[in-house]
Amino acid sequence: MGTISIEHGDHLYWLGRYTERSFTTLKVLHKIFDRMIDEDHCYTEYLSCFGLSDIYEDNNDFIRHFLYDKNNPNSLAFSLERAYDNGIVLREEISTEALSFLQMAKDTLKKSEKMQNPRLSLISLEDNIYGFWGCIYEYIYDAEIKNIIKCGKSLERLDLYLRLDYPYRSIRKAYSRLTRNLESIPENTPYRYNSKFLDEISNAVESADKYDKYSSEALTALEHIFDRPEVSA
């Protein structure tokens, strides 16, 4: 690994997580925007996935809080800020180019707040995130740096897909991607997986039937995936 410190390893991992959280949140909000055309309070199902109750006046109030409220940990603005916070201390690892796409994503979101139809400009925001990932693949030559970011990204995706009750097909894809990335992390490093918990996840998502029954167990195992294995006396 050479010269990556523990602190930078941590930032790389959370950069991956928060960028993915921004992306999936954006995708879900796109769908909610679409449903908003036909129904009011169409987001309650989404809120319940996170154990949140509907305290919002109407669709617009919900959108305001979940797109732009930097103090709401479930908002797109919050996730983008955290992605940027982690990215800004990694310029020499991820490149100024990659960072510029996070800056543009923040700027695009800010501009969209003043637009009559923010949904249109959110398409550019999606492009910004794709641009960011393009830079990660293009500019980072150190495979291990890239792998930590990808680990964070794929773990966040599986976590969100499980919470949002995504179809089994998507879960399998997200799981396969995560295991591929986890396998690339060397032994005895902070993001090396704990095989006990990976087995539990594997078991829970083995089939569509099992997934229906054990998705919450998979989520719990995911939380412990980097726990150090217990050493027997």
Partner 1 sequence: MSGIKVEQFTQAVGNADEINELLRRYGVKFGIYKNGVFKEQFFPFDPIPRVINAEDFKSIEKGLVQRVDALNRFLFDIYHEKNIVKDGIVPEDFIYISSGYLAQCEGISPAKGIYSHISGIDLVQGKDGEWYILEDNLRIPSGASYPLIARELTRIACPDVFAENNVTDNRNYADLLKETMENVNCGGIRAILTPGRYNAAYFEHSYLAEHTGSVLVQNDELFVEDNILYHRTYSGGKTRIGVLYRRIADEYLDPLTFLPESLIGIPNLMEAYRAGNVAIINAPGNGVADDKGIYYFVPKMIEYYLGEKPILKNAPTYLPFYEEDRKYVLENIGKLVIKDVAEAGGYGVVFGSDLSDEKLEEFRQTIIAEPRRFIAQEVIDFLDLPILEGGETVMRKADLRAFVLSGKETKVWASGLTRFSRNPDSFVVNSSQGGGFKDTWVLSR
Q: Site residues (CB under 8 A) for partner 1? A: 1-9, 85, 88-89, 91-92, 95-96, 99-100, 103-104, 107, 186, 188-190
Taking the complex as a whole, the smallest distance from the CB of residue 144 to partner 1 amounts, in Å, to 8
Continuous segment of H or E residues that includes residue 23:
helix 6-36
Question: Distances in Å between the alpha carbon of 122 and those of 38, 63, 78, 155, 194?
Answer: 20, 12, 15, 24, 38
Please choose, from the candidates 26, 133, 131, the residue with its C-alpha nearest in 3D space to the C-alpha of residue 74: 26
Tell me how far, at minimum, the Cβ of 160 lies from partner 1, in Å: 26
- For the bound state, the minimum distance from the C-beta of residue 157 to partner 1, rounded and expressed in Å, comes to 23
CB atoms within 10 A of CB 99: 17
CA atoms within 13 A on the CB side of 5: 6
CB of 88 to partner 1, least distance (A): 6
Nearer to partner 1, 167 or 190 (CB): 190
Of the two residues 62 and 87, which places its CB atom closer to partner 1 in the complex? 87
Whichever of 30 and 91 has its CB closer to partner 1, that residue is 91
Instruction: Quickly count helices (H) and strands (E) in the chain.
Output: 11, 0
Burial of 51 per CB tally in 10 Å (0-12, 13-18, 19+):
exposed
- Tell me whether residue 42 or residue 99 sits nearer to partner 1 (CB atom): 99
Residue 177 CB burial class (10 angstroms; 0-12, 13-18, ≥19): middle
Query: What is the smallest separation between the CB atom of 24 and partner 1, expressed in angstroms?
Result: 24
CB atoms within 10 A of CB 38: 7
Identity of the residue, 22 or 86, whose beta carbon is nearer to partner 1 in the bound complex: 86
Q: Other CB atoms closer than 10 Å to residue 200's CB: what's the count?
A: 19
CA atoms within 13 A on the CB side of 53: 1
Work out how close the CB of 74 gets to partner 1 at its nearest, in angstroms, rounded to a whole number.
25
If the CB atoms of residues 8 and 146 are measured against partner 1, the closer one turns out to be 8
The one-character DSSP state at 53 is -
